[in-house]
């Protein structure tokens, strides 16, 4: 690695930055696995979630939005055949 680049990276990377990344990953770990491929459109983080006493709340797409998304997906699949 280029020495000036390494020095620049070390200067910008603080203990606080590392702590922030670790906290984000701890708080959102379950959501990172729960959300993809579902009807979840939002993850709500409250103070209780941040402090570790509660799980994040998930906001789901309404049944009408789900039906519209499925219809659009089916149309897209059909048009690509």
DSSP string for 6-36? HHHHHHH--HHHHHHHHHHHHHHHHHHHHST
Cβ count near 30 (within 10 Å): 13
DSSP code of residue 37: T
Residue 13 has a pLDDT of 66
Q: Which of the pair, 3 or 21, is modelled with greater confidence?
A: 21
pLDDT above 80: residue 64: no
Q: Which of the pair, 8 or 70, is modelled with greater confidence?
A: 70
Write out the residue range of the structural domain in which residue 49 sits. 3-79
Task: Using alpha carbons, select from 60, 14, 15, 11 the residue that is nearest to residue 38.
Answer: 60
The model's pTM: 0.54
* Number of domains forming the structure of the chain: 1
Residue 6 has a pLDDT of 61
pLDDT per position as a tens digit, 8-51: 666 666 777 777 888 888 888 888 888 888 888 889 988 888 88
């Amino acid at each position: 690695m280029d020495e000036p680049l390494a020095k620049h990276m070390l200067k910008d990377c603080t203990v606080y930055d590392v702590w922030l990344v670790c906290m984000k990953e701890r708080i959102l770990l379950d959501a990172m696995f729960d959300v993809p491929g579902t009807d979840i459109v939002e993850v709500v983080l409250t103070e209780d979630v941040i402090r570790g006493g509660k799980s994040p709340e998930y906001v789901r797409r309404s049944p009408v939005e789900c039906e519209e998304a499925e219809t659009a997906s089916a149309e897209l699949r059909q048009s690509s055949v």
